[in-house]
Structures are given as C-alpha cells and as structure tokens.
Amino acid sequence: MMSDQPPPVGYARAPGAEGGPGPRPGGLTALAVINFVLAGFGLLGLLGTLAGSAAMDLVPTTQMSAEDREAFTQAKQLMKDPTVKVLAALDIVPIGLLIVAGVGYLRQKKITGRTIGNLYAACSVLLTVAEMAFLPIPYGAGVTMLSYAIAFVYPLLTLFFINFTFRDDLVQ
C-alpha cells in the first residue's frame, strides 16, 4: 500500500519509488561534468590533429638541422597517413556519445544515460584497441602499453559506475 503522505522532510525518496528515481546523486552530476570536459578536450585534440597536417606544410624547414628535418618529415608523413586520418575522424563518435550520455546522466535517463554511456565506453575501448593495433607510431615516440592503459581508465570507470553504482538512478 502506497501512502498518500509525502515523504518526511529531509529523507530522499527511495530509488525506483513511484514518481521517478529520486534526487540526482552528486556523483552522477560529477560524471556528467567530466563527460563534458573530456568531450571538450577530445574536440580540441581532433581539431589539432586535422589542422596539424595543414599547419605542418607551412613550417619552414630550411633553418633545421638535417636530423631535425628528417624527424619533421617523418612526422609530416605520419600526419598524412590515411590510417591516422580515419582513426582521428572516428574520434568524433565517442566525443558525441560523451555529450549525449552527459545530458542523459543529468536527466537520469535510461536510454540516453545508461545505454549511451555503455555505448561510449565500448566505442572508446574499441577505438583505443584499434589505435594500438593499426596506428603507425614512429619508433621512439614514447608510446607504451601504459599510455594506452591511461586511455582505458575513464571508459572502464564509466562502465562500472553506470552499471553498478548509479544503476538505480538512471531509470527514467
């Protein structure tokens, strides 16, 4: 039997109770803010990558030493590699999903919050694995397994939080 009385002052409504999931936990707000910040950084990185190859053509190499010029030419060729361009363009997918999921967290939505959040995590992990496998990293660029481990941190945390900690808060 549901009571007609409102819940006592100072007590949060239980998750899943009639009328919605209850007040949004601060952690969910924090996750949404992190999503927006990471999406912003991702967009900046994407623009940097796409503009990088064009900007590199404008850099004069006449003043460089032979060693520097060779390294610069290698970097320029790398930026023009189609694999780099495709992987960079694919980055737009997790960025978009981050923004949609962030809005979903704020509105405590099941589809745009939990489902899109899971989709973002899966996309991000797959994209990092694809970069590990296909990106032609020049030898000596300092990219190791630990660099990739850092890229896995947020997607894996997202999976954990939205499927366990905030599972009952993303139900609308």
Partner 1 sequence: MSLLHVNARHLGLIGRNAAYHTVRGGAGIMFLLMALVFGLFVAQIILTPVEMMMSSAAREGHPLPTEEVLSQIINIARPIVRWMVGGKLDLQPPSVEDLAKAATSRTNPAQTPLDRWAAFLLDDRPALMSAILLILMFGVPLLVPVLAFNQTSGDIQSRGLRYLLLRTERANIFFGRFLGTVVFSIAVLGFIVAIITSYLNWRLRIYHSGPLWGWSFHGFLALVLTAVPYIALCASISASVSSPFLSLITSSLIIGGVPLFAWLGALKWNAVGLVKLLTPWGVQQHLLHPEASHVAGAAVLCIVYTAVYLLIGRRYFERRDL
- Residue numbers of the site for partner 1 (CB under 8 A)? 10-11, 25-31, 34, 139-140, 142, 144-147, 149-150, 153-154, 157, 161, 165-166
Choice between 53 and 158, CB closer to partner 1? 158
CB of 61 to partner 1, least distance (A): 26
CB of 142 to partner 1, least distance (A): 5
CB of 148 to partner 1, least distance (A): 10
Choice between 26 and 60, CB closer to partner 1? 26
CB of 51 to partner 1, least distance (A): 26
CB of 113 to partner 1, least distance (A): 15
Choice between 90 and 143, CB closer to partner 1? 143
- Which residue's structure tokens are 């936990």? 25
Q: What are the DSSP calls for the chain, one per residue?
A: ---SSPPPTT-PPPTT-TTSS-SPPHHHHHHHHHHHHHHHHHHHHHHHHHHHHHHHHTS--TTS-HHHHHHHHHHHHHHH-HHHHHHHHHTHHHHHHHHHHHHHHHHT-IIIIIIHHHHHHHHHHHHHHHHHHH--PPTTS---HHHHHHHHHHHHHHHHIIIIITGGG---
Choice between 5 and 62, CB closer to partner 1? 5
Choice between 58 and 153, CB closer to partner 1? 153
